[in-house]
Amino acid sequence: MRLSVCIPMFFREISLPEAIRRVAELGYDACEMWTVGEEEDLQAAAAACREYGVDFLAICTDCFDATGGDAEAYAEGVRSAARKAGALGAKMLISQVGKDTGAPRPEQHANIVKCLKAAIPVLEETGLTIVIEPLNTLVNHKGYYLWSSQEGFEILREVDHPQIKMVYDIYHQQVMEGNLIANITGNLPLIGHLHAAGCPGRNELNNGEIDYKKVFEAVDQAGYAGACALEYKPLLPPEESLALTGKLYG
């Protein structure tokens, strides 16, 4: 399993190409972003990835409103993000599903399925994969709909498409469910990506109650072949923090 750097958590004040250079200098070969604006020089970022040997893994979709929104609008948000992902060489789109609208949960669940199915033609046309993201609602994302990885897996089984999977965020799921190793290794065919942060606090991986060495070892032994993005708020200076994390878990 390779480690990826979530650039906005560490390098907010510099250009994307410069951030990619620093990622490479710290010994990492993969990165990702949340959002990328049309005004950013995507070609320059792609050139930096080629120059420094860094794979740009993922950006987010441009529309998260799947609980109560229009399926075609959601699909168009996937399409617009796909154009930017293509310029960056990214193969994955991360999608949250939106807030809990207050409607009965079965209705919101069904609308998420509908929106994801509407995005399938875009995915098949571009070769991209969408990974939906459960988040914790106790600390960081109050009012968000999809907090349960188990419901997320149910949604994916209903959609039943190989290019629609889950980003399993280990931090968020420790807050909400625990049972991390069993939930990951028991659902590997449905997991396309991992995120990691220490819990509680969402800081360095070696801070908190999660033994990431054991988690990563179990995930590797189970045959996970994807990446895990470092999506934490560093307490140390960013370069020092990433260098330490690379030594501990790389």
Q: Which of 38, 151, 204, 231 is catalytic?
A: 231
Residue with tokens 């250009």: 15
Q: Which of 38, 76, 124, 133 is catalytic?
A: 133
Rounded Cα distance between 33 and 90, Å, is: 10
**Coil/strand/helix, residue 61:** coil
**Coil/strand/helix, residue 4:** strand
Rounded Cα distance between 208 and 32, Å, is: 24
Rounded Cα distance between 168 and 120, Å, is: 21
Residue 38 CB neighbour total at 10 angstroms: 9
What angle (nearest 5°) sits at the alpha carbon of residue 31, between those of residues 237 and 186? 105
Q: CA torsion 41→44→50→54, rounded to 10°?
A: -50
Token reading at 192? 């396309």
- Tell me if residue 51 is catalytic: no
- Tell me if residue 133 is catalytic: yes
Rounded Cα distance between 73 and 64, Å, is: 10
Cite the active site residues.
Answer: 133, 231
